[in-house]
Amino acid sequence: MKNYTITVNGTVYDVTVEENVSGRAPAPAAPKPAPKPAPAPAKAAPAPEKPAPAPAGTAGSKEVTAQVPGKVFKVPVSVGQAVKRGEAVIVLEAMKMEVDVVAQEDGTIASINVAVGDAVESGDVLATMN
């Protein structure tokens, strides 16, 4: 016989398993009283939500949006910085790859609406430009 401890949905059960070597069914054993459920593990306090980064200045007229869902990996620009068309404004990590989100035209960064580590969906506004 082998004894196992099994946890199902937070309830702990002690189980005894008999090996059937002779090929016939084992005799039923007297049922054991149901064990007391183990105390639930202490839940950690929920992490405080990250406040959205406050955009510096007013939002610009041109939006820089995510083309793919992912996680913000790097923000290589800052508010007020001039950027050229095709320059990376935000770098996302999607499917273990770095994806540059680039400026569609020359301009100045008016606001950055994300922080490193934020999860974004396709179409989310990451930054604005003037």
- Topology of the domain covering 62-129: OB fold (Dihydrolipoamide Acetyltransferase, E2P) (2.40.50)
Q: Of 130, 123, 126, which Cα lies nearest the Cα of 53?
A: 126
Asked if pLDDT for residue 69 goes beyond 90, the answer is: yes
Contact 123, 86 (CB under 8 A): no
What is the percentage of the chain residues whose pLDDT exceeds 70? 71
pLDDT at 16: 84
Query: If DSSP codes are grouped into helix, strand and coil, which group holds residue 55?
Result: coil
Q: Strands 119-120, 70-74: parallel, antiparallel or unpaired by DSSP? A: antiparallel
Query: If DSSP codes are grouped into helix, strand and coil, which group holds residue 100?
Result: strand
Q: What is the mean pLDDT of the chain?
A: 80
What does pTM read for this prediction?
0.54
Domain definitions of the chain by residue range: 62-129
